[in-house]
A and B are shown apart, each in its own frame.
Chain A
Amino acid sequence: MAPQTCAICQKAKAMVKRPKTGEQICRECFFYVFETEVHNTITQANLFKPGDRVAIGASGGKDSTVLAYVMKMLNERYQYGLELFLLSIDEGITGYRDDSLETVKRNQQQYDMPLKILSYDELYGWTMDAIVSQVGRKNNCTFCGVFRRQALDRGAAMLNVDHIVTGHNADDIAETVLMNIMRGDIARLGRCTSICTQGEDTIRRSKPFKYAYEKEIVMYAYFKKLDYFSTECIYSPDAYRGHARVFLKDLEAARPSAIIDIIHSGEAFEVREEVKATQRVQQVCQRCGYMSSNALCKACTLLEGLERGMANSGITDRARKKLDAEGPAPDNLRTIPFFKPPSGGPLIAIESVS
């Protein structure tokens, strides 16, 4: 096959075929269009204002590594005026998270950004290793998901940031749309495609890579020689998401626009008023102050089950009744520190770049 010339600059040899458009472009033009599309996503959604403190949820994986690199570059190139931080959650998974945190620590040096690592152990008193040894490998992802969400918000509050950005890409969002359809979770369908979400008193979260294809993120990381970590979580057989992912990749192989088309389908679902009415009103957890739709937040419920040796009480109603029958929670029960939403000035000292 004769080498193709770049469709944009008409000079250099084409090296990438863009999945979104089929365009054949050179390496330099690829960098430029990738970065510019992320910039356009950010400006069209008005994600930031000058002076915002923004935490990048950093796992050491490809998406968040590329996100940190691109956020730093765009912040300088277009003078967003943001103060950027790296925020990592240490779930306490030996042989997985400890290695990926080493990558994040290198990113801290490479990108010259302050890093905060918050662990499940310090927040909840339980590592994922300890949780798995008690609950087994069936519901462990439920614990991890609930604990991670709250840990990210709490880490962000400690950094006193206004905003968390995460590396969720177009493929991830399309996958979530498919899963919500298959589960009949229409209420979540519209929400999962929104670029920015905000609860009652939680910190804004957004996804600057909402329209970035996974293929382009990986190509970008490869051509830029970015340092990222890639291994599957050792406890993560989220089989359902795995099937959705394989199905999506098959669709993409047949028709690359499938990913964007699915996102647009999710966006087009308007949640009707009577469906919205069944969503519960937000309140604050009596025990830890985190936002919750019940008297106790999910994390406090799960933690109480762990502490009282009945881990399933946070998962099934039957186990919950059994726990309630044993009486109220003891006074000396380990609880999560009370949640303080951010309010001027960092609440804790952060590790700065040495």
Chain B
Amino acid sequence: MSTDSNTMFLKIEFGGGLELLFSNQRSHRITIPSTVPADNNTSVTTKDAASPATRPADVTYLLHHLRDHLLKEREELFMENGTVRPGILVLINDTDWELEGEGEYLLKDGDEIVLISTLHGG
């Protein structure tokens, strides 16, 4: 758990072949700011995020963060129109994100987010 209230600590898990876009590594531990720019810009620092247009970090912000900082190749296979590409399942603490408000879910320190591709062969 994070000791700094300005940041939070998340556990990210990729599966179903999606890990191939993320250095072929299934498990990642990341830290993101608790308050983020409203435009999902992930390159500004936490201090800059004190500017007027901010909001609490949600899953939509997290997806942008993963794309900008962890993704190694072919971003079109991960995101489309500001969210995950259709066919990628997202679970928030083991619950289908469709039950948690999808991208609008407000992240908490220690949350575990799982992303699984359903698009790879049977």
Which residues of A does B touch, CB under 8 Å?
1, 4, 13-17, 24, 59, 61-64, 167-169, 171-172, 214-215, 217-219, 222-223, 230-233, 236, 245-246, 249-250, 252-253
The interface size of chain B toward A, counting residues with CB under 8 Å, comes to 25
| Interchain CB contact under 8 A, B122 and A63 | yes
70-122 of chain B: CB within 8 A of chain A: 85-87, 89, 91, 94-96, 98-101, 105, 114, 116-122
| Interchain CB contact under 8 A, B119 and A245 | yes
The 10 closest A-B pairs by CB, nearest first: A63-B122, A249-B86, A230-B17, A230-B120, A17-B98, A253-B86, A249-B87, A61-B122, A15-B95, A218-B118
For B99, give its contact among A4, A223, A245 (CB under 8 Å).
A4
A16 surroundings in chain B (CB, below 8 A)? 95-96, 99
- Knowing A222-B116, A232-B17, say if A252 contacts B121 (CB, 8 Å): no
What 1/0 mask marks residues of chain B from 35 to 69 whose CB sits below 8 Å from any chain A CB?
Answer: 00000000000000000000000000000000000
| Interchain CB contact under 8 A, B89 and A62 | no
8-22 of chain B: CB within 8 A of chain A: 15-17, 20
| Interchain CB contact under 8 A, B105 and A230 | no
For B89, give its contact among A215, A250, A252 (CB under 8 Å).
A215
- Knowing A15-B99, A230-B16, A230-B117, say if A218 contacts B122 (CB, 8 Å): no
Cα distance A149–B89 in the bound complex, in angstroms: 31
B16 surroundings in chain A (CB, below 8 A)? 62, 218, 230
Q: Which residue of B lies closest to A19 (CB)?
A: B98
For B122, give its contact among A15, A17, A64 (CB under 8 Å).
A64
Q: Shortest CB–CB separation between residue A164 and chain B, in angstroms?
A: 15
Cα distance A237–B38 in the bound complex, in angstroms: 39
Cα distance A236–B101 in the bound complex, in angstroms: 36
| Interchain CB contact under 8 A, B99 and A14 | yes
Cα distance A230–B95 in the bound complex, in angstroms: 22
Cα distance A14–B97 in the bound complex, in angstroms: 11
- Knowing A1-B100, A1-B105, A17-B99, say if A232 contacts B120 (CB, 8 Å): yes
Cα distance A252–B89 in the bound complex, in angstroms: 13
- Knowing A1-B105, A231-B120, say if A218 contacts B95 (CB, 8 Å): no
Q: Which residue of B lies closest to A26 (CB)?
A: B95
Cα distance A246–B117 in the bound complex, in angstroms: 13
Q: Shortest CB–CB separation between residue A128 and chain B, in angstroms?
A: 14
- Knowing A62-B122, A219-B89, A231-B17, say if A1 contacts B101 (CB, 8 Å): yes
For A252, give its contact among B86, B114, B117 (CB under 8 Å).
B86
Cα distance A218–B114 in the bound complex, in angstroms: 12
Cα distance A217–B20 in the bound complex, in angstroms: 21
Cα distance A168–B100 in the bound complex, in angstroms: 30
Cα distance A145–B67 in the bound complex, in angstroms: 36
Q: Which residue of B lies closest to A27 (CB)?
A: B94
B100 surroundings in chain A (CB, below 8 A)? 1
Q: Which residue of A lies closest to B20 (CB)?
A: A231
Q: Which residue of A lies closest to B104 (CB)?
A: A1
What would be 25 A-B contacts, judged by CB atoms less than 8 Å apart? A1-B100, A14-B99, A15-B96, A16-B95, A16-B96, A24-B99, A59-B121, A61-B120, A61-B121, A167-B122, A168-B122, A215-B89, A219-B89, A223-B94, A230-B15, A230-B16, A230-B17, A230-B117, A231-B17, A232-B121, A245-B119, A246-B87, A249-B86, A249-B119, A250-B86
Cα distance A171–B87 in the bound complex, in angstroms: 11
Q: Which residue of B lies closest to A222 (CB)?
A: B116
B17 surroundings in chain A (CB, below 8 A)? 230-232
Cα distance A4–B98 in the bound complex, in angstroms: 11
Cα distance A219–B120 in the bound complex, in angstroms: 14
Cα distance A232–B98 in the bound complex, in angstroms: 27
Cα distance A62–B100 in the bound complex, in angstroms: 25
Q: Shortest CB–CB separation between residue B16 and chain A, in angstroms?
A: 5
Cα distance A174–B113 in the bound complex, in angstroms: 30
Known: A17-B96, A230-B17. 9 other contacts (CB 8 A): A1-B100, A17-B99, A59-B122, A61-B121, A62-B122, A218-B116, A245-B119, A249-B86, A253-B86
